[in-house]
Amino acid sequence: MRTVFDRELVKKYDRPGPRYTSYPPATEFTEKVTVEDYKRKLLESNSRKTPLSLYFHIPFCESGCYYCGCNIIISHRKGIEKPYLERVYKEMDMLSELIDKDRKVDQLHWGGGTPNYLDADEIREFMEEIRKRFEFTENAEVSIEIDPRYATDEQLRTIKEVGFNRISMGLQDLDERVQKAVNRIQPYSLMVDIMGKLRDLGFESINIDLIYGLPYQTVESFKRTVEKVIELSPDRVAVYSFAYVPWVKPIQKRIDPKTLPSPEEKLSILEMVVEEFQRAGYVYIGMDHFAKPEDELAVAQREGKLWRNFQGYTTRKGVELIGIGATSIGMLYDSYFQNYKTLKDYNDAIDSGRLATFRGVILNEDDMIRREVIMDIMCNLGVNFDKIENMFGIRFEDYFEEELENLKELEEDGLIEVKGRSIRVLPVGRLLIRNVAMVFDAYLKKKKELKFSRTI
């Protein structure tokens, strides 16, 4: 089903809102939830016998991209990663004492920062240390983010040899003027070369990240980038909206706001992006993501089995996510936990022999019900009332009486269809999926000010 871009409706519904990588969102995390709560919930999780997803945060980068919103440490000086890795191994030791050995890893992801800041020997050692403590399922999804500007042939071969089968790369924009303005010079020839090497190595899935709304971008200039990316033929593409927040991310102060595209131009860029990728045969999954029709994400969405976690869309619903390293977030069945954000606080915690958890949230029954509804909307483009009722023992129309009333405006505008005992997101509503989900968010009703990115 092709997504339809309706400019007037996009303008009407463009407002701040959560991205729903979790519900409740990370804005509800509190330091009242402690490391002892984390230990207790980890032990409880063993009784469920659920498979595991491991996320490792590697915060180092060799250079700073001015648009960056990640928690990173910029350094050309190699060696600073070694003490960090040693602490990550200690954190794994503490976690493996709490997690039953028969729970296998079905999903693993290295993010950052730049995971290929590590050299080939460190990559090999790191994976060996993980495998010493955790056993993997036969068809585990093992993915890594890389910066192609710094990826050597030896690193790429090693990444494949140690078991990674999926890879994601940042590209952002191929226009030279844009690249200079954001301090990321990355020629198309480099991307052609590295894509060829990754295909030859046999990676199952390759993702490319783009960003729209950067300095000097126009519809015409970014269309050239999109066309070149389509030629590269990645399995998945993520096209993120640039949020200019220099008061939160000081590195963005190096961007002149006068060079940013106007809201109208940015909207036109998004319209072009949606049209071009769909014309090339990609499926708009939602929330910035496109995938080829045969890709696991697209298949899972068609089958109603797609899910979201703190890494975005996933086909592995039911796994419990363990976040390892500074800033990492874990996502257990009924609770979320985050590690300290600064390297100093993380190091101090690990050096003192304790887990680095500093905040989180424990879900109540209402959270669990609303999470299922919101994730079905975000991932599978609709809600089946019978499914929710069977899972939680409620009557949907009674429990969500107010929400169903609030959906009427969205239905009149053609974003959704409420028919029989289901809600279905229509082609016009797919770009505004966050707005549909927000109707079921109990926390938004309590907020006077919404400190989120805009929904478009």
Q: Domain 1-24+364-456 is of which CATH architecture?
A: Orthogonal Bundle (1.10)
Please tell me the predicted confidence (pLDDT) of residue 17.
Answer: 84
Phi, psi of 112 (to 5 degrees): -170, -155
Exposure of 35 in the CB half-sphere (CA atoms within 13 A)? 14
Whole-number Å distance between alpha carbons of 447 and 424:
27
Whole-number Å distance between alpha carbons of 432 and 407:
13
Whole-number Å distance between alpha carbons of 108 and 93:
17
Q: What are the angstrom distances between the C-alpha of 6 and each of 3, 287, 430?
A: 10, 16, 11
Q: What are the angstrom distances between the C-alpha of 224 and each of 116, 175, 188?
A: 28, 8, 11
Residues of the chain with CATH 3.20.20.70: 28-321
SS3 category, 172: strand
Q: Domain 28-321 is of which CATH architecture?
A: Alpha-Beta Barrel (3.20)
In our burial notation (b when 16+ CB lie closer than 10 A, e otherwise), range 301-312 reads beeeebbbbbbb
Please tell me the predicted confidence (pLDDT) of residue 426.
Answer: 95
Strand partners, 360: 30, 337
Please tell me the predicted confidence (pLDDT) of residue 399.
Answer: 98
Please tell me the predicted confidence (pLDDT) of residue 449.
Answer: 65
Residues of the chain with CATH 1.10.10.920: 1-24+364-456
Whole-number Å distance between alpha carbons of 135 and 137:
7
Q: Are 304 and 17 in contact (CB under 8 A)?
A: no
Predicted model pTM: 0.94
Four-residue CA torsion sign, 242, 247, 251, 257: positive
**What tens-digit pLDDT sequence spans the chain (456 residues)?**
688 888 899 889 988 888 898 999 989 999 999 999 999 999 999 999 999 999 999 999 988 999 988 878 888 778 889 999 999 999 999 999 999 999 999 999 999 899 999 999 999 999 999 999 999 999 999 999 999 999 999 999 999 999 999 999 999 999 999 999 999 999 999 999 999 999 999 999 999 999 999 999 999 999 999 999 999 999 999 999 998 888 888 999 999 999 999 989 999 999 999 999 999 999 999 888 999 999 999 999 999 899 888 878 888 888 999 999 999 999 999 999 999 999 999 999 999 999 999 999 999 999 999 999 999 999 999 999 999 999 999 999 999 999 999 999 999 999 999 998 999 999 999 999 999 999 999 999 887 666 676 767
Whole-number Å distance between alpha carbons of 387 and 296:
23
Which tokens go with 351? 């050096």
Q: Which of 388, 417, 382, 208 is nearest to 301 (CA)?
A: 382
Please tell me the predicted confidence (pLDDT) of residue 448.
Answer: 65
SS3 category, 331: strand
Please tell me the predicted confidence (pLDDT) of residue 76.
Answer: 77
Q: What is the CA radius of gyration of the chain?
A: 22
Q: Are 329 and 323 in contact (CB under 8 A)?
A: yes
Q: Which of 379, 436, 360 is nearest to 36 (CA)?
A: 360
